[in-house]
Chain A
Amino acid sequence: KAGVTQTPRYLIKTRGQQVTLSCSPISGHRSVSWYQQTPGQGLQFLFEYFSETQRNKGNFPGRFSGRQFSNSRSEMNVSTLELGDSALYLCASSLAEGRAADTQYFGPGTRLTVL
């Protein structure tokens, strides 16, 4: 089975621009979560989607948004980029609905640099 894929792997943007990141989960996985990873804050949860619905949301401003398509693929969007948005954005998929014991399968991440 193919793993979680994320595109693009690297992205350079300037302040004020917007960006869209894409994530394809493992086939059969219905839950997709997004995380922001930075050296200072570690791994922070952004949001989680299941069956095209956002079920959980972390403590991030409204500039961060996402969506999930019927094939479980997910995108996240960041508008009006700030320097502090520079980070590794990780997508993770899991198999079942609402099971805390589920393993999260992570993609390699998209490295976003905001200049």
Chain B
Amino acid sequence: AQSVTQLDSQVPVFEEAPVELRCNYSSSVSVYLFWYVQYPNQGLQLLLKYLSGSTLVESINGFEAEFNKSQTSFHLRKPSVHISDTAEYFCAVGGGGSYIPTFGRGTSLIVHP
């Protein structure tokens, strides 16, 4: 069975500061990793995903995540956040015999002016 741990339930940060949202997963087989974002009163939308190849993946709005197999982590980073990045962020893992992704509990990113 797979599991995902998002170590921080809430991350407050000031605008233009860097941020890291942590995600660790457990799986005994190769996996696919995802970050989804949920803005207030909306459903989740894909931010970025790792399938294979380069361990560093980027999104169109400046976020990046690095797949670290030895540490079973897929942390999300952004060098300079904006107020509009305030949202709930979910890490998810797929594969390992199941095509239903397992989601973490989510991390609420709160960007202060």
Contacts and interface: CB of A to CB of B under 8 A. Distances in A.
A56 B101 CA distance: 12
A1 interface: no
B47 to A, nearest CB: 10
Interface string B60-93: 0000000000000000000000000000001000
B44 A100 contact: no
Contacts, number: 56
Interface residues of B, number: 24
Interface residues of A, number: 22
User: Dominant SS at the B interface?
Assistant: strand
A109 B51 CA distance: 27
B52 to A, nearest CB: 9
Given A42-B105, A107-B43, A33 B100 contact: yes
B43 A90 contact: yes
Given A56-B98, A99-B99, 14 more contacts: A33-B100, A42-B103, A43-B105, A92-B44, A98-B99, A100-B95, A100-B101, A101-B51, A101-B95, A102-B94, A103-B34, A106-B36, A106-B44, A108-B43
Interface of A: 4, 33, 35, 42-43, 45, 48, 56, 90, 92, 98-109
